[in-house]
Amino acid sequence: NAGVTQTPKFRVLKTGQSMTLLCAQDMNHEYMYWYRQDPGMGLRLIHYSVGEGTTAKGEVPDGYNVSRLKKQNFLLGLESAAPSQTSVYFCASSYSPGQGSFAYGYTFGSGTRLTVV
């Protein structure tokens, strides 16, 4: 049981380049999330999804796009990378026994360290 898998684990981009981070979960979870971690700021929510085909903005969505075409995958895209997007990115998934209620089984991926130069 792999849980939540993030690829790649490391990446260096030049300013202006684009890339996609992939998050895959094998737990049949409805909810998926992308967070970024910066020193002294904890983790902040970028975007999230409450089901296949749905996405929503989190606290810091600017400069990112997401897609959830399949329930098990949640993609985070950077169309034109900027140095301010240098960060560690975490994907997570969870499920809920009832619509909109608390999430259970919260599981994080191992993170992607992205450097934009």
Partner 1 sequence: AQKVTQAQTEISVVEKEDVTLDCVYETRDTTYYLFWYKQPPSGELVFLIRRNSFDEQNEISGRYSWNFQKSTSSFNFTITASQVVDSAVYFCALSEGAGGTSYGKLTFGQGTILTVHP
| Binder of partner 1 out of 13, 94, 114, 116 (CB under 8 A) | 94
Distances (CA, A) of 103 to 34, 62, 92: 15, 25, 11
| Residue 61 binds partner 1, judged by CB under 8 A | no
Identify whether the C-beta of residue 18 lies closer than 8 Å to the C-beta of residue 81. yes
41 is a site residue for partner 1 (CB under 8 A): yes
* 22 binds partner 1, rule: CB under 8 A: no
Exposed/middle/buried for residue 25 (C-beta within 10 Å: 0-12, 13-18, 19+): buried
Question: By C-beta, is 4 or 116 nearer to partner 1?
Answer: 4
Binder of partner 1 out of 19, 27, 60, 103 (CB under 8 A): 103
